Amino acid sequence: MKQLKAIFATVAFLLAVNVVNAQTLDSEAVASVTSQAVDEAALTETVEAAQQIKVWPQVSTVKIMVDVQNLQEVEIYNCTGRLVKTQKVDKGQSINIETLIPGAYTVKVGNKLGSFTKQ
């Protein structure tokens, strides 16, 4: 995920520079457009980070832990987006994933997302 954010920031920066070069603006305009692209990339990273939950261990075969403060319904989706498990979890409780087939999964708690891989 961090690599995608870095790629997004780089692409935004390059697009801003290309737009400026195409329009042949002065150096103040270049700085303004570049600064705006970097600010937008930082804002995107902040929003995405705020919408993440902590799931550990990242690779497991038996159970996972999800960072919740009180009783929450946790939904687990497979890589095709199909809901494969729903469970209410309180702070300190684990989720048994023994019945899931090996693969990558997304965990959703409210509007927050996390992920793990089952071996």
Residue 107, pLDDT score? 95
Q: How many domains does the chain have?
A: 2
Q: Which domain holds residue 44?
A: 2-50
Residue 80 pLDDT? 94
The pLDDT value recorded for residue 57 is 93
Do 24 and 76 belong to one domain? no
Residue 16: the pLDDT is 46
Q: pTM score > 0.75 for this model?
A: no
Place of tokens 């300190």: 92
Q: What integer pLDDT is reported at residue 21 of this predicted model? A: 47
81 and 35 fall within a common domain:
no
Taking CA atoms, 103 is separated from 28, 34, 46, 80, in Å, by: 50, 40, 28, 11
108 and 89 in a common domain: yes
Q: Which of 13, 31, 50 is the last residue of a domain?
A: 50
Model pLDDT, residue 2: 54
Cβ contacts of 61 within 8 Å, gap of 6 or more: 97, 98, 118, 119
User: Are 41 and 71 members of one domain?
Assistant: no
Q: Which regions in the chain score pLDDT beneath 50?
A: 11-25, 30, 33-34, 43, 45-47
Residue 74: how many CB atoms within 10 A of its CB?
21
